[in-house]
Amino acid sequence: MSERRDAVLVLGALGAGAAVPAIGSDYWTGFAITALMWIALAQSWSVFSGLSGYVSFGHVVFYGLGAYLVVATWDRLSPALSVPLAALAAAAFALAIGAPVLRVRGPYFVILSFGIAELVKFVVIAAEAAAGHASRLILRTPDLAALFYLMLALAAAATALAWAVRSTRLGHGLRAIREDEVAAETIGVPVARYKLAALALSAAVPGAVGGTMAMRATYFEPLQAFDPMVSFTMIAMAVIGGSDDLRGPVLGALVLVYLSELLWAGAPQLYMVILGALVLGFALFVPGGLCGRAGARRARPA
Amino acid sequence: MSLLELVAVSKRYGGVLALDQVSFTVEAGTIVGVMGANGAGKTTLFALIAGNERPSGGEVRFAGRSLAGLRPDQIARRGVARTFQVVRPFAGLSVRENVLAGALFGTRAFASAALARRAADAIVEEAGLGGQADRLAGTLTLSGQKRLEVARAIATGARLVMLDEVMAGLLPAEVDEMLATLHALQRARGLTLLVIEHVMQALMRLSQRIVVLHLGALIAQGSPEEVAADPEVQRLYFGETA
């Protein structure tokens, strides 16, 4: 099946990327960590939003909570413990907010997801201020190569998760929910349970990614850890690449990471303009993204 | 024991009584038609049975068990399926995937995904959609989408399939094809069908029994001949002098 071929392709490419720290400079290893981070985030986002059609504008909340957990427990827990814990905490938070939040659809869900992420950001800022921190530094973080392999594992995990969800009943049910929730429910899809499960699964990897990036940055600052741009960027990547395709988020992440690397230093404003134009263009004219099948299927003679 | 039993089922929307203490039964393996003008409560009846809406009073029983308080997906897993008058295909999925979704959920537990696929593909063929299996459902003609609604409902493995105007808006030739398809599908699977239809001729030809709703109340039931001869039905459908 083509789904399996895509999974082998993506996981194979990630496997080949494992050579980067051995052959590349620290610059390239750092660049690869950034690329892998976005692959993991965009792939995770598409597990929930790409399949269910519930567009989350607040996935950064899972990333930020993961970062916060790892940093806040830095002196007490080893990363071997705190990073998996960050994934669990993000999934648990998704379960807790999911039940009420997933009752609303469409633009209301978009706004609500964004609002929750902002709310949590300000709660963390307030909590940090009350504890006497504006930001936190962490010392003795793992070296660059270790962080690279951790991020590689997270990108692979997100891809494997996306593949697993897509090839089981959960994936079929989520697609049915995306297309028509009433019809899905009427053929027997347990819609509330499936949406909640997908949100929790989709939150776990971003939690671990946030924790890993906190170690890379060696500091934690809530405005950055909960920056809405993180949510927007993963959406842009998934949309440009194709959010209902295993390769899509990977391709979208690579395109935008490369673009940002080209433009960030010289013309950061131009990067934002191009990003906005790309998202608009794809959403309007290529809704299936670069890997989209919608266009291809329609073009195929009946 | 009847497969489907409605006991004094009522539905109130604010001040409007959409269904008023409707009671009737449907025997397993039969085709029962539901007749009535616009606003008679036919689609509301389907929504109550399938769990899309909750009754304000009374009880729906299926295979001897009450459906009270169950969600639509739970009712679907008990073996009840419906189509929608205003079609609701999974527009962005292929015809094959639409029907596969029905097979994967619903009542049947397939040992493998491959078996579910095979069963779904067989139903796609039987429903006359074989040539369009890979097309996106949203690109089908109305007639094709109505067939898809039927195929997806049947793929759930339901014992009771409720068809809501699956022949409305079809050309006469398409109506004949649809009737043949429905008969074949019903016979091959021993299905019980509850059918809403405005195409009166089609309903008379398809159904063994007919129930007539008028302004939310059940006013007549019986064989198509009995119903056609009923004075109340005559008055409502053919005018006072008949």
Question: How many angstroms separate the Cα of B53 from the Cα of each of B45, B60, B75, B102?
Answer: 9, 12, 12, 21
SS3 assignment for A248-281: HHHHHHHHHHHHHHHHCCCCHHHHHHHHHHHHHH
Confidence of residue A292 (pLDDT cuts 50, 70, 90): confident
Contacts of B5 by beta carbon, 8 Å cutoff, 6+ apart: B25, B26, B60, B61, B62
**Cα B223 from chain centre:** 18
Q: Per-residue pLDDT tens for A278-290?
A: 989 998 888 888 8
Range of the domain at B228: 4-238
Residue A194 in any domain: the answer is yes
Contact (Cβ atoms closer than 8 angstroms) between residue A135 and residue A219: yes
pLDDT at A299 over 60: no
Confidence of residue A1 (pLDDT cuts 50, 70, 90): low
**Predicted local confidence at residue A295, as pLDDT:** 44
Q: CA-to-CA distance for A14 and B62, rounded, in angstroms?
A: 53
The CATH number assigned to the domain holding B223 equals 3.40.50.300
Residue A278 in any domain: the answer is no
Confidence of residue B241 (pLDDT cuts 50, 70, 90): low
**Predicted local confidence at residue B136, as pLDDT:** 96
Q: What is the number of structural domains in chain B? A: 1
Confidence of residue A296 (pLDDT cuts 50, 70, 90): very low
Taking contacts as CB-CB distances below 8 angstroms, the residues of chain A near B102 are 187
Closest B-chain CA to A179? B90
Residue A71 in any domain: the answer is yes
- Cα dihedral: A211, A236, A246, A95 (round 10): 50
The minimum CA-CA distance between A44 and chain B, rounded to whole Å, is 21
Q: Per-residue pLDDT tens for A64-104?
A: 999 999 999 999 999 999 999 999 999 999 999 999 999 99
Residue A232 in any domain: the answer is no
Residue A273 in any domain: the answer is no
Contacts of A268 by beta carbon, 8 Å cutoff, 6+ apart: none
Range of the domain at A191: 2-226
Taking contacts as CB-CB distances below 8 angstroms, the residues of chain B near A190 are 71, 73
Residue A247 in any domain: the answer is no
Taking contacts as CB-CB distances below 8 angstroms, the residues of chain A near B107 are 188
CB contact under 8 A, A172 and B134: no
**Predicted local confidence at residue A301, as pLDDT:** 36
Does any CB of chain A come closer than 8 Å to the CB of residue B97?
yes
Residue B217: how many CA atoms within 13 Å on its side-chain side? 3
Does any CB of chain A come closer than 8 Å to the CB of residue B144?
no
Q: CA-to-CA distance for B212 and B32, rounded, in angstroms?
A: 11
Residue A244 in any domain: the answer is no
Q: CA-to-CA distance for A213 and A229, rounded, in angstroms?
A: 15
Confidence of residue B125 (pLDDT cuts 50, 70, 90): very high
Q: Which helix (H) or strand (E) holds A185?
A: helix A181-186
Q: Out of A180, A187, A298, whose CB is closest to B136?
A: A298
Q: What is the largest CA-CA distance in chain B?
A: 62
Contact (Cβ atoms closer than 8 angstroms) between residue B57 and residue B40: no
Which of the residue ranges A1-10, A185-194, B54-63, B126-135 would you say has the lowest mean pLDDT? A1-10
**Predicted local confidence at residue A291, as pLDDT:** 87
Name which of B49, B71, B82, B90 to mutate to probe chain A: the one with the most chain A Cβ atoms within 10 A of its Cβ.
B90
Confidence of residue B194 (pLDDT cuts 50, 70, 90): very high
Q: What is the number of structural domains in chain A? A: 1
Residue A171 in any domain: the answer is yes
